[in-house]
Every structure is written in structure tokens, then in C-alpha cells.
């Protein structure tokens, strides 16, 4: 790190408002995701919309993928300013539509607009970081983004519950919409002068159009997977097969060539991100259920295990952002190893003789590993991207997050449902899938390195 960059830090001059505004936006997106999940059962009951319950979750996931691709293309062509502004506007508009919706289908449509907006601004924000924040300070700002999830993870569910019970469920959406506006205004000064085209001409208009179409196909597949999880019998099987096919066919066109083979460099970076995300969140989805049903922990205690992991995630992010942190490759290897250890330790508590504390310690280690690995992968993506490819590659990184996790969650969910009558076998099967993916991330982590290492 140069002495100038180290001395200036993120809280000086132009970077101060960018840091505060962008962290606030990330926190709001995190709060919205966590709080809405808490409020949605009440929403479905109030709007008599149980049939559209899955759609309200699946649509924003699907449209966010489209938003990510559009933001990547837009940022490379015209700079990230336009995508950032339109994305925040779409996020706010979607929240307002959802918060004022008189029926569940209209709420789902509002959530779709919101997902499109969040996909746009999340990718554009990465490009803003690439264009404005010195390379030496990028680990710190990505650490701040990770830390921005901790407070919503801790206070989001109880705050959402309090709002639902005292003010009403609509306040959860409307409050986030109102708070997003001052956060966006803080980011605005950093966007000035970023509208210049940087595309080097290697990407044709036809290629960009095809990329958007592939994004629509992948998004439809992701939404279909979410919907299939709410169905049963033959309809679920048919929809699941079609949805997986859509993701498998469309997804590779949205990722750098060689991603599925984890070729050294950027393809391996994207591959590690997708595999690691799928492993961690697949395990996390079933961990509270395991602890409550098999080990008789209360919902509060089961949730505390996840909260501790959110805190250690923040600690890992802080560690990788230190001036004297190990190399990016060393951080990534250590982070993926900790995640694998955490997944296997947490899953092992399905065995009655294993102390429940193992789950807490293991999942804390997993959170620490994610905190070390996630920002590291974001930094490597920008280091390995030419200026004309920062938008496209940033979108690929986040698309890998969404698609890998969506497919694996759907498959582990189907596996769990098929084996649930067999008791602990269902949890062991899920642990085997998540643990296997985590070990794959460990094996390919060494391929994801910057050109300077």
C-alpha cells in the first residue's frame, strides 16, 4: 500500500461520503432482505396471498440477475453513474409499490422492480469502487460492505417484528424506501465524472444483446427453482427440471470462459465465489432446523448461532482489510478451509454424541472464513479486470453468487424433502453436498490469484 493511500483512508475527502453512502445502501439492502423474510408470513395472511408467497421471493431473485447484467453492460459502456442512479430509483420504487400494494400479486411485482434495482446498483457500486477508490484501499471498503450486513443480521428480525406488530407490515417496506434516498445522495458526489465511456470496442452490440437474453433465461430458471420448491409431486419435478436446464444452459454465457473448469485467474475467482456461496448458504438454510428439531434448541438459541457467524464474518472482513494482511491467495486458502471446517462441524451435530457447542464453534469459524474470502474475491475480480471489463466481471461475480446458490439450495431442498422421513439421513445428505462443495472451493482456491502474486 502506498503511504499516501494509507494516510488518506476511506474517511477523507471525496471518499468519506462515498464510503458512508455506499455502506448505508448495502445495510439497507441487507435489512430489506432480512426484514421482509420476517414480515412475509404476516403479509401473506393480510393479503390472502399464500399462493403467491414463493413468487414474492423468486421474482426479485430473478430480476436481480437481469439487473446485474444490465449494470455490467451499462457501466462498461457509459460508466457506472447512470446504472447506479436508475438502480437506486428502481429499488425505492419497488419498495413503495410493495409497501402500498393492495394484493399479493401486485406486491410480488413491486418486489420484482426492487430486485431489478438492487441488481443494478449492487454491480454499479463495485465499478464505482474500481474507478474512485485507490487499489490499496479496496480491501478496506469491501470489508466495510461485509460489516454492513452485521447490524441488519442482528437487529433486522426483531425490528421487523416490532414494526409489524406496532405500525403494520407496510412500514417495513416504506421505511427502507425513505432511508435509501439520503444514502443515495451521499454517493452522488462520487458519481460525477464517471459517465465517460470506457468500452474498448471488443464487445459488440450483438454480443451485449445476447448477454441480456441469456440473463433473462437464467433469471427465469432461478425463479422457476424457487417456485418448484413450493410445489409437490410431478409439477414440482417437471418445473424443477426445466428450471435447472434453463440455468445450466444460460448461466455459462454470463460467466468468464473457463469458469466451470476453474481455470487459473479470473475464471477461478468467479468459480470459487459461486461454489463457496452455494456451500455456505446451503448449510446455513438447514442448520437452524437441525438444531431445533434434532437437538431441541429453542428458536432463539438456534438463531444465535447464525448471529455469531455474522459477527465473525465481519471480523474476517476486517482482518483481510488490514495493511499487513497475508497475500490474497493465502487469505483465500485459509478462508475456504475455515468454511469447509464449519460446514462439516455444524453438520456433525446431527450425531447425538457430538456436543451442540460444536455447531456454534464450527459456524463461527465458517463465518470467519466467509469474511476472509468474500472481500478477497471482490478485490481480485477488480485487480484482474481491465477498465473496460470491470462492469461485466463484477456482474459475473455476483451472478455466480445468485445462480450457484439458487441451484444448490433447490437441489438440497429436494433431497431433504425426499429423505425427511428417514430422519437424520436427510441432514447428513445435505451436509455431504455442502461439505463437498466447500472442499472443492478449498482445492481450487490456489488458482484464484492476482497477476502480481
pLDDT tens column, 43-75? 777 887 766 666 676 678 778 888 888 888 888
Residues 318 and 355 in one domain: yes
CATH number, domain of 172, equals 1.20.1250.20
The 3-class secondary structure across the chain, one letter per residue, is CCHHHHHHCCCCCHHHHHHHHHHHHHHHHHHHHHHHHHHHHHHHHHCCCHHHHHHHHHHHHHHHHHHHHHHHHHHHHHCHHHHHHHHHHHHHHHHHHHHHCCCHHHHHHHHHHHHHHHHHHHHHHHHHHHHHCCHHHHHHHHHHHHHCCHHHHHHHHHHHHHHHHHCCCHHHHHHHHHHHHHHHHHHHHHHCCCCCCCCCCCCCHHHHHHHHHHHHHHHHHHHHHHHHCCCCHHHHHHHHHHHHHHHHHHHHHHCCCCCCCCCCCHHHHHHHHHHHHHHHHHHHHHHHHHHHHCCCCCHHHHHHHHHHHHHHHHHHHHHHCCCCCCCHHHHHHHHHHHHHHHHHHHHHCCCCCCCCHHHHHHHHHHHHHHHHHHHHHHHHHHHCCCHHHHHHHHHHHHHHHHHHHHHHHHHHHHHHHHHHHHCHHHHHHHHHHHHHHHHHHHHHHHHCCCCCC
Q: Are residues 128 and 41 in the same domain?
A: yes
Q: Identify whether residues 167 and 236 lie together within a single domain.
A: no
**What is the count of structural domains for the chain?**
3
pLDDT, tens digit, 9 for 90 and up, residues 407-440: 887 777 777 777 777 777 888 888 899 999 999 9
pLDDT of 380 higher than 70? yes
Task: Give the structural domain span for 50.
Answer: 9-138+147-191
Shared domain check, 36 and 185: yes
Residue 52 is predicted with a pLDDT of 66
Q: Does the pLDDT of residue 129 top 70, yes or no?
A: yes
Query: Is residue 311 assigned to a domain?
Result: yes
Confidence at residue 272, expressed as pLDDT on a 0 to 100 scale:
94
- Based on the fold, state whether residues 248 and 345 are members of the same structural domain: no
Domain-located, residue 310: yes
Report pTM.
Answer: 0.77
Give the mean model confidence (pLDDT) for residues 369-394. 86
Amino acid at each position: 500500500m502506498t503511504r499516501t493511500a494509507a494516510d488518506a483512508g476511506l474517511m477523507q475527502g471525496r471518499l468519506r461520503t462515498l464510503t458512508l453512502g455506499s455502506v448505508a445502501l448495502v445495510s439497507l439492502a441487507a435489512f430489506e432482505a432480512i426484514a421482509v423474510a420476517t414480515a412475509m408470513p404476516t403479509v401473506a395472511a393480510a393479503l390472502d396471498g399464500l399462493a403467491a408467497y414463493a413468487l414474492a421471493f423468486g421474482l426479485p431473485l430473478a430480476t436481480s440477475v437481469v439487473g446485474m447484467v444490465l449494470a455490467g453492460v451499462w457501466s462498461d459502456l457509459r460508466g457506472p453513474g447512470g446504472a447506479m442512479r436508475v438502480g437506486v430509483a428502481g429499488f425505492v420504487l419497488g419498495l413503495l409499490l410493495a409497501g402500498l400494494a393492495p394484493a399479493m400479486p401486485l406486491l410480488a411485482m413491486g418486489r420484482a422492480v426492487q430486485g431489478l434495482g438492487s441488481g443494478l446498483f449492487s454491480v454499479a457500486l463495485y465499478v464505482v469502487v474500481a474507478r474512485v477508490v485507490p487499489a490499496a484501499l479496496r480491501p478496506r471498503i469491501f470489508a466495510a460492505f461485509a460489516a454492513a450486513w452485521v447490524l441488519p443480521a442482528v437487529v433486522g428480525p426483531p425490528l421487523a417484528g416490532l414494526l409489524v406488530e406496532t405500525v403494520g407490515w407496510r412500514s417495513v417496506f416504506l421505511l427502507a424506501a425513505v432511508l435509501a434516498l439520503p444514502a443515495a445522495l451521499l454517493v452522488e458526489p462520487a458519481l460525477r465524472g464517471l459517465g465517460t465511456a470506457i468500452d474498448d470496442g471488443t464487445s459488440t452490440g450483438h454480443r451485449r444483446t445476447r448477454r441480456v437474453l441469456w440473463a433473462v433465461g437464467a433469471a427465469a430458471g432461478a425463479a422457476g427453482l424457487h417456485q418448484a420448491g413450493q410445489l409437490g409431486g410431478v409439477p414440482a419435478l417437471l418445473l424443477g427440471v426445466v428450471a435447472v436446464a434453463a440455468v445450466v444452459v444460460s448461466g455459462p454465457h454470463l460467466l468468464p470462459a473457463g469458469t466451470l473448469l476453474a481455470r487459473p485467474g479470473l475464471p477461478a475467482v468467479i468459480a470459487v465465489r459461486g461454489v463457496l456461496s452455494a456451500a455456505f448458504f446451503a448449510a446455513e438454510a438447514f442448520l437452524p432446523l437441525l438444531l431445533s428439531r434434532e437437538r431441541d434448541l429453542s428458536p432463539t438459541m438456534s438463531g444465535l448461532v447464525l448471529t455469531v457467524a455474522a459477527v465473525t464474518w465481519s471480523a474476517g472482513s476486517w482482518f483481510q482489510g488490514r495493511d499487513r494482511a497475508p497475500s490474497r491467495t493465502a487469505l483465500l486458502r485459509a478462508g475456504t478451509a475455515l468454511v469447509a471446517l464449519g460446514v462439516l462441524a455444524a453438520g456433525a451435530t446431527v450425531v447425538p454424541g457430538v456436543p451442540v457447542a460444536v455447531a456454534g464453534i464450527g459456524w463461527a469459524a465458517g463465518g470467519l472464513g466467509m469474511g476472509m474470502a468474500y472481500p478477497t474475491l471482490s478485490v481480485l475480480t477488480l485487480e484482474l479486470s481491465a477498465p473496460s471489463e470491470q462492469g461485466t466481471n463484477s456482474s459475473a461475480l455476483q451472478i455466480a453468487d445468485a445462480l450457484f446458490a439458487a441451484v444448490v439450495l433447490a437441489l438440497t431442498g429436494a433431497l431433504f424433502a425426499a429423505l425427511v422421513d428417514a430422519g437424520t439421513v436427510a441432514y447428513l445428505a445435505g451436509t455431504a453436498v455442502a461439505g463437498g462443495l466447500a472442499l472443492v472451493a478449498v482445492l481450487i482456491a490456489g488458482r484464484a490469484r492476482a497477476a502480481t502474486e
